[in-house]
Amino acid sequence: MNPMHSTTPNPKVALSRWAVTLVETLIPVEMRLEADDALAHAFETDPTYINGWFAGVITSIAASLPAEDPWRNLAVTYIDGTGSKRHYYTSLALPLEATGARTRGRIFGSRRDHTDLVAPAFHDPHSDVGLAVVSKEVAAETAALIGVAGHADRATTHELIELIQNDPQWDGQPARLRLRILTDALRFVMHRRRVYVGANDNFDYAMLIAWITWAEDILRGRAVDTSLLASEGKIPDGDYTRFHVN
């Protein structure tokens, strides 16, 4: 039996294998597909744990961006299935009426939000190595999660877990649909960080692996100190101005 397709997949193994596909570009297609399948099965088995892992990794990587990066200062509105509304915003942008994020007077969540740091090199975005990862717009829920993570501290990790875990509008939805919201958010913030530090950065992989343990600890109510590892990966404030191209 292929262990990737076990009827009772180990969520930690599924996450560790899927994490490798995010950082190693030469992984064969069939291995990527197997890792995606295993993650979807693990999500169905233990959605609370998988949600916690995504929330932690997304928040840690978003928090590593320079404080002045617009992605750290998005105006966010999140409306759950009960109609409950939450706002997160700064003086740079006002919140929306519907679920989503706004930056500098426009909706956030498209390739355009990366071109302040990456100048387009090709007319076809899918052929542009610097922007292909973010060539498709993300869902409003994905944009909102990125925005919440940008207002990052440890409490926000808990808030992000709560938003993901307790939103009744996702009850009964296929695992792959819910995972797409999370994986797109993670890909977007990982790409943003790589613009600053390059593709050979070890911090994102360190976070992917560390949160396999940390997510379980947080969900069990145990204290987790992420500060030392997080401080090592922090991109200096001021670098947004230095890297800004548009």
Give the per-residue pLDDT at 158. 73
* Predicted confidence (pLDDT) per residue in 172-187, tens digit: 677 788 899 999 999 9
Helix axes 203-219, 11-23, angle to 10 degrees: 160
This prediction's pTM? 0.89
The boundaries of the domain holding residue 77 are 46-243
**How many domains, in total, are found in the chain?**
1
Tell whether 39 is covered by a domain.
Answer: no
pLDDT tens digits, 52-77: 999 999 999 999 999 999 999 888 88
* Residue 7 lies inside a defined structural domain of this protein: no
pLDDT of residue 154: 47
Give the per-residue pLDDT at 5: 47
Does a structural domain hold residue 6?
Answer: no
In tens digits, what is the pLDDT along the chain, a chain of 246 residues?
Answer: 454 444 556 999 999 999 999 999 899 999 999 999 999 999 989 988 999 999 999 999 999 999 999 999 888 888 877 777 777 766 555 667 788 898 877 899 999 999 999 999 988 988 998 899 999 999 988 998 999 898 876 456 777 777 777 666 666 677 788 899 999 999 999 999 999 999 888 999 999 999 999 999 988 888 888 877 778 899 999 999 999 987
Instruction: Please state, in angstroms and rounded to a whole number, the distance separating the CA atoms of residues 70 and 195.
Output: 14
Determine, yes or no, domain membership for 229.
Answer: yes
> What is the rounded distance in angstroms from the CA atom of residue 226 to the CA atom of residue 22?
21
Q: Does 63 fall in a domain?
A: yes
Residue 21 lies in a domain: no
Tally of CB atoms within 10 A around 196? 18
Non-local (6+) Cβ contacts of 173 within 8 A are none
- What was the pLDDT predicted at 32? 95
Average pLDDT, the chain: 86
CB-based contacts of 136: which residues, under 8 Å, 6+ apart?
111
In three-state secondary structure terms, 242 is helix
Query: pLDDT value at position 151?
Result: 84
CA 131 to CA 188: how far, in whole Å?
Answer: 10
pLDDT at 166: 67
Q: Does residue 32 form part of some domain?
A: no
Domain annotation covers residue 60: yes
